[in-house]
């Protein structure tokens, strides 16, 4: 077959008008694709990366960009604008948090509020028992939204708990990402569905419908749970044995939050928005509003940060950058994927150059060698500016947390990379509370003590260090 195609190509080369048509078609393809990408008005580096990458892929580049390229969504803007105008409790913020909460409300639409109870859950061994206990106590509804639910021991335990509550008459709604949870079969969910529970998929694949955007590259990376409107969970831990050290000694190291108070209403709002978007169903909202109980009074100042490709403001990205710039004494960042843009990199290095205690905690080896090389490509600039870099291992660090000074923290699902800041639907929590910041500080101190510091004169062999890092850095805008 290859010989036949080669002979056909050589024959076509001998026909002048065929060559002219091929050249014209190639030029039209490049021009059309370039105009389409440029009109997206993305960062110049990302735009040029896409143009160069796709120019070397004859014709199939259009399909790749259509499926995997940056995309904008239009959804529930009206609900967001209404929420941003609703009256909210007015806790007394710190001066830094006052500006941050205004920025957060303007970009994500969620007004500041309070929590009466915030519990930091470390790893699945803390989170899963707390979540199962909350589900077992449910009397009205259980809402879960997750990127990954695996059909393993953890996943079966969750489905069994949800099915038991659904059989008891509790309204159970489970929203899963169609890519992240693709390993779960229909039979896995049968107990829940037979008991009366509801299941919905976020952006299911539909590549066979070429006239509709497949949204393959736009995923819900959120990990949310709301039980009876009383207890809420948010953070970075999926529902899988991979994050439970009781099951696997190599389980990811990660964080989650269990929360009570007014903030649970915000988590509920976010889940409702995503459920309505995925299913088109609104019939349950009025009954749900009537069932919401009065929230306990709280002193912790908190604010939900939600971001995704349905908004141009990159709320979580902006809040990270602004909080780093506002730091007065320290910036401690833990993330599994550190691929910063220019603004984030400038914020970190400027803080370090200004005398702020800036520390970066990343995995010694992530689950992607390409990402690991890309992360390490930033080390030299960070270390030169005075940032202290630590690699955590042998377990994979999956923690996503930012600690600023002695009172401010951001914890959630968003990694410190382009995908989380621009492509994924993410949810994080901005917390202005000294007690919580102290708890997080103690935890991160222990993680840093257990990690390996990266030195400026680190070993960098050409073929296994400097070269792959430099090449991976070129792909940073696409990661």
Active site residues per annotation:
221, 223, 228, 398, 400, 405
Backbone angles phi, psi at 202, to 5 degrees: -90, 120
The residue assigned the tokens 């056909």 is: 8
Torsion of CA 452, 319, 149, 284, to 10 degrees: 160
Beta-strand relationship, 338-339 and 330-334: unpaired
Q: Which residues contact 213 (CB under 8 A, 6 or more apart)?
A: 66, 71
Residue 388: Cβ within 10 Å count:
16
Torsion of CA 193, 196, 202, 205, to 10 degrees: 40
Q: How far apart are CA 135 and CA 128, in angstroms?
A: 10
Q: CB–CB of 225/143 below 8 Å?
A: yes
Name the percent of the chain in helix, strand, coil, to the closest 5. 45, 20, 35
Backbone angles phi, psi at 458, to 5 degrees: -75, 155
Q: Which residues contact 184 (CB under 8 A, 6 or more apart)?
A: 149, 150, 151, 155, 176
Q: Where are the alpha helices (DSSP H) in 121-229?
A: 123-136, 153-167, 186-194
Q: Which residues contact 373 (CB under 8 A, 6 or more apart)?
A: 468, 469, 471, 472
Both tokens of residue 426?
A: 């993410």
> 189-224 as b/e, with b when 16 or more CB fall inside 10 Å?
bebbbebebbbbbbbeeeeeeeeebbbbbbbbbbbb
Q: How far apart are CA 382 and CA 374, in angstroms?
A: 13
């Amino acid at each position: 077959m290859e010989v036949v195609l080669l002979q056909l190509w050589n024959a076509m080369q001998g026909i002048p008008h065929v060559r002219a048509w091929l050249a014209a078609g190639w030029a039209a393809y490049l021009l059309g694709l370039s105009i389409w990408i440029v009109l997206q008005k993305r960062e110049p580096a990302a735009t040029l990366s896409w143009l160069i990458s796709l120019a070397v892929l004859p014709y199939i580049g259009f399909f790749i960009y259509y499926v995997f390229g940056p995309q904008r969504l239009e959804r529930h803007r009206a609900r967001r604008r209404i929420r941003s105008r609703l009256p909210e409790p007015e806790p007394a913020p710190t001066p830094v948090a006052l500006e941050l909460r205004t920025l957060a409300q303007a970009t994500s639409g969620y007004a500041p509020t309070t929590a009466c109870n915030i519990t930091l859950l470390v790893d699945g061994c803390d989170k899963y028992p707390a979540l199962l206990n909350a589900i077992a106590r449910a009397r009205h509804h259980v809402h879960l939204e997750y990127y990954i639910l695996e059909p393993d021991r953890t996943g079966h335990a969750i489905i069994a708990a949800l099915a038991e509550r659904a059989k008891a008459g509790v309204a159970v709604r489970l929203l899963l990402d169609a890519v992240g949870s693709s390993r779960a079969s229909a039979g896995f969910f049968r107990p829940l569905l037979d008991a009366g529970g509801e299941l919905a998929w976020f952006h299911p694949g539909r590549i066979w419908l070429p006239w509709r955007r497949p949204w393959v590259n736009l995923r819900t990376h959120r990990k949310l749970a709301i039980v009876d409107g009383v207890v809420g969970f948010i953070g970075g831990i999926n529902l899988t044995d991979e994050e439970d050290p009781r099951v696997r000694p190599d389980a990811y190291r990660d964080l989650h939050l269990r929360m009570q108070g007014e903030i649970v209403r915000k988590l509920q709002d976010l889940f409702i928005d995503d459920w309505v978007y995925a299913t088109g169903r609104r019939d349950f909202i009025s009954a749900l509003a009537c069932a919401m109980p009065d929230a306990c009074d709280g002193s912790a100042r908190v604010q939900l940060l939600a971001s995704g490709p349905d908004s141009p403001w990159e709320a979580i990205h902006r809040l990270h950058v602004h909080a780093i710039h506002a730091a007065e004494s320290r910036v401690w960042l833990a993330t599994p994927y550190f691929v910063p843009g220019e603004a984030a990199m400038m914020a970190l290095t400027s803080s370090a150059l200004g005398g702020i205690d800036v520390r970066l905690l990343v995995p010694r080896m992530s689950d992607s060698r390409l990402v690991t090389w890309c992360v390490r490509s930033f080390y030299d600039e960070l270390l030169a500016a005075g940032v202290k870099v630590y690699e955590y291992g042998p377990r994979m660090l999956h923690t996503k947390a930012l600690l600023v000074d002695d009172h401010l923290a951001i914890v959630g699902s968003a990694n410190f990379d382009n995908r989380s800041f621009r492509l994924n639907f993410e949810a994080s929590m901005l917390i202005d509370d000294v007690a919580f910041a102290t708890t997080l500080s103690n935890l991160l101190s222990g993680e840093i003590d257990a990690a390996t510091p990266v030195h400026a004169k680190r070993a960098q062999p050409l073929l296994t260090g400097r070269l792959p890092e430099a090449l991976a850095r070129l792909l940073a805008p696409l990661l």
